[in-house]
Structures are given as structure tokens and as C-alpha cells.
Amino acid sequence: MPWKKLSGDSSRHKMSLFGTTSGFGTGGTSMFGSTTTDNHNPMKDIEVTSSPDDSIGCLSFSPPTLPGNFLIAGSWANDVRCWEVQDSGQTIPKAQQMHTGPVLDVCWSDDGSKVFTASCDKTAKMWDLNSNQAIQIAQHDAPVKTIHWIKAPNYSCVMTGSWDKTLKFWDTRSSTPMMVLQLPERCYCADVIYPMAVVATAERGLIVYQLENQPSEFRRIESPLKHQHRCVAIFKDKQNKPTGFALGSIEGRVAIHYINPPNPAKDNFTFKCHRSNGTNTSAPQDIYAVNGIAFHPVHGTLATVGSDGRFSFWDKDARTKLKTSEQLDQPISACCFNHNGNIFAYASSYDWSKGHEFYNPQKKNYIFLRNAAEELKPRNKK
């Protein structure tokens, strides 16, 4: 169904969950209460309607240039879906597009008019939300794992990272890339905040790129983690400039790494997360993958989600944990914040971390929305 109008806002008069006045307290009890006893939604967060029919691999909220909030999700059912999220918490399915393979990553253009999608079908597409048309804009020799929009003063392009061990840059109007950079290994995760990009690969490769004038390799970094890279997110300093990144691995650990810290030995550190029976124990632990990391756009605190079926909120500067959720009955596969940090979205679906024996096709996939305005405030700031 085509996208009719973006600006129509009938939600102002309803109860506001995600506006400036919160419809619920910080306890996260929703206005609906809980009617069931199962633990698919132990935090009693809002369920997005018409969620995908297979595992959800990626989530992305619309940029601040669009009025309102729109959420995009890509799934292993080969589809990309879009919802409008009203301040009341109501979610309205708006449109969807298909690839011919699972969708591994999604991102928005800075003006909010386009969504870019990366797929196992070895292509990336550009979805024009106003016309509801999607066209192929990129091609690789293997699945495309990451996609990011780069908006520089003198160029804009789409960056795709693939398992074919290349990073390609596309201007969306040409079938040949503007630039191709060789990676040491398969691209596993990436992030972009202009003028910085970071790419993490198989065999624990880690490369930072600078994007001014044209993209170029800035530095290869020896991985601070000993296990396979799974997710990465860039963070900013007080002047709103990208200054470092958080890198998550399959071994329940996150590294906080600054690009040019005053004191590397002191400023860079790693912390354990997504492990059973706490992290300060000598007893045997179940250790889970960190599936996603997202930084709060206002407070600079971060969320992690894991194969253990929990999300946690952290303050990297105070090096403290702010909150951990109750355990969901399946992994949390992706997460993101909306542009003003009022909404935390997270996807509950099987991530194949325990192999095919643990896959249950009967199990539904969910996307949950939580009011994140209060819980991610650093403790010392009131």
C-alpha cells in the first residue's frame, strides 16, 4: 500500500506514551496490563502489530527530518516492513517490500524519503517511500550484510559491506560503484556517523575509515575482543563528534574503544554482559552472543541485546549498568532507538545461536516498544 501522507498527525489528542509526557512510569508497565502468563513479553512493552513471519534481523527508526516516528524491520522471510508509531503507542503498518533472500540490514536516507535494504540475494535496494517503489542500487558476489547512508558536504552515497570481502560505495543512480575497498575478510557488522565509519569482519578484523572528501582507510585496529565480532556502534563526544565505538562479540562481551584517547590503557575497556547468573562469579556460566548495540541519541548511554533474551542499559562513562530486563522466552535479535531517544525498539526472534535443533517455526516473532526517556539517563544527572 502506498505511503499517502507523512505529516498527518491524528495522535496528538490521544494519550501520549512516547511524547514529552509519558503515558507510563519508568517501570515500563503498559497501559494495557498483562492478560497472559507466558513470558514472551515479560517487560509488558508495546507489541508492534503485524510483525514479520520469520526472524527479524534489523530495525531502524526514521530520522528527525520526518514528522512522527516510522519503524523499518527486515526479516528472514525476505521482507522489509514499515510501521508508523504514534505517540499513543499505536502502531500502523504502512507498506512492505520484498527481496529474494533474507534482509540483513536496513537504513534511512537523511531526509527520510528513502529506505535502503541489504539482502542475502546479493543486492541492495532503494525504497522510495512516497511512490512505494523499490529499485536495485547495488550488487555484490555474496550476501550483503551491512548498509549505511553517507551524507557528506560534497557527496552522498550508500555504503554496502558484503561477505565477498568488499566495501562498496554507490551513488544510487549508477550500476557501477563509486569506489570499492577490499576488506581483509567477510564483513560482519558496520556503523557510520559522518565523518567516520567502522567495519568489523570475520577473523576479528577491525577497520576505521574516514569519509571526508572521499572514503579512505584510516586505521586497522587490533581487536580488543578474542571472539567473533557480532555488532558495532559508533558513539559521540560532548561536541557531538564521533569519537569511538562499542563492539560486541558472540562471547557475551562488549569493548568500548576510543579512536584517539588521552590514555588508551585506561580509557579503552571491555565488559561482560548477556551471561547467566551474573558476571562476577567463578561458577560456570552460560555465555550468549551480543546481537545488537545502540547508543541513546540524547544521553549517550547504550543498550545491548543478546541471545539470552534480555536487554541491558549501560552508562559507559560511569562504567555502570543502569538496568537489565526480565528474560524473554527467545533471543533478542536487534534493537534501535528513535531519533529523540524516547522509544527503544527490540525484536524477539530466534537467532540460530543454538543451531537448527532449537528452531521452532511455530514460535511467533515480536517487535516491542518501550519508553526509554527515563531509564537511560545517567545516574548522576537528575
Alpha-carbon span 148 to 209, nearest angstrom: 13
Strand-pair category, 144-151 with 133-139: unpaired
Cell digits of residue 29: 508497565
Q: pLDDT averaged over consecutive 10-residue blocks of the chain (382 residues)?
A: 39 52 41 61 97 98 97 98 96 98 98 98 98 98 98 97 98 96 98 98 98 98 98 97 98 97 96 83 88 98 98 98 97 98 98 93 96 93 54
Distance, in Å, from the CA atom of 31 to the CA atom of 44, rounded to the nearest integer, reads: 9
Angle at 339 between CA 336 and CA 342, to 5 degrees: 75
pTM of the model as a whole: 0.91
**Residue 319: which of 382, 254, 375 has the closest Cα?**
254
* Range 239-245, long-range pairs (CB < 8 A, 24+ positions): 242/193, 242/194, 242/195, 242/196, 245/191, 245/198
Q: In angstroms, rounded to a whole number, what is the distance separating the alpha carbons of residues 289 and 52? A: 22
Residue 84 and residue 91 in contact, taking contact as beta carbons nearer than 8 Å: yes
User: Considering Cα of 18, then 20, then 26, then 32, what sign does the dihedral take?
Assistant: negative
According to the model, what pLDDT value does residue 278 have? 61
The pLDDT of residue 24 is 38
Indicate the DSSP class of residue 275.
Answer: B
Q: Determine contact, residues 187/165, Cβ cutoff 8 Å.
A: yes
Q: Cα separation of 324 and 32, whole Å? A: 22
> What's the CA dihedral at 250, 253, 258, 261 to 10 degrees?
-140
Q: What pLDDT, on the 0 to 100 scale, is given for residue 16?
A: 60
Structure confidence at residue 381 (pLDDT): 57
Q: Which three cell numbers stand for residue 257?
A: 574503544
Residue-level pLDDT at 193: 98
Sheet order of strands, 206-210 included:
187-193, 196-201, 206-210, 216-220
Those residues whose C-beta lies under 8 Å from the C-beta of residue 278, and which sit 6 or more positions away, are: none
d(CA 372, CA 313): 10
Question: Which of 156, 187, 161, 153 has its CA nearest to residue 172?
Answer: 156
